[in-house]
Structure 1
Amino acid sequence: MRGVHRMVRNETYCIDVLAQVSAVAMAQEAVSLGLLDDHLAHCVAGAAASGPEATELKVKEASDAIARLVRS
């Protein structure tokens, strides 16, 4: 984001700034999906070994996170 800010401050051509903003958004999405995948693979799977209550809590956390990602 600092790079985008610098581009704006330096009056970089608008289309080039938009291309960079798009790249940042795609990178954020990739990180978010990776974190969600890690949560499912480790936290939810680990909770499954602890019992149904722990599993339900971790699944709800994941569902809430997915809902936030979809809204953004």
Structure 2
Amino acid sequence: MKKNGQKALDRLSRIEGQVRGVAGMVKADRYCMDILAQTAAIRSAILAVDKLILEHHAEQCVETAIKSGDPVEQREKFNELIQLLQKASR
């Protein structure tokens, strides 16, 4: 996951900071709407990480299975992709 992996790690580091910030907001008893705005931003950032990982899976794992010509491997990677998409859409 070289290129996307570094992007995902960078985003996860920012998310980690955001989560610590929200925890501080809760401890400081900040206004609920401000906290909810930050948790919405965190959810959005996590979805962006999901997208990077899904792209990598499609570009690397699924593409390799397609090129292999092995119908069992192709079906396995296709099913994995479907499962990932289902989990990401919940």
* Cα distance in 1 between the residues matched to 2:25 and 2:71: 51
- CA RMSD in angstroms, aligned pairs only: 1.0
Larger relative contact order, structure 1 or 2 (CA cutoff 8 Å, min sep 6): 2
Q: Which runs of 5+ in 1 are unaligned?
A: none
Tell me the TM-score normalised to structure 1 length.
0.90
Residue 57 of structure 2 corresponds to which residue in structure 1?
39
Report how many residues are paired.
Answer: 71
Residue 68 of structure 1 corresponds to which residue in structure 2?
87
What are the superposed Cα offsets for residues 32-63 of structure 1, whole Å, 9 maximum, x if unpaired? 01110110011000111222211110110010
* Cα distance in 1 between the residues matched to 2:38 and 2:65: 39
Q: Which runs of 5+ in 2 are unaligned?
A: 1-18
**Identical pairs, percent:** 35
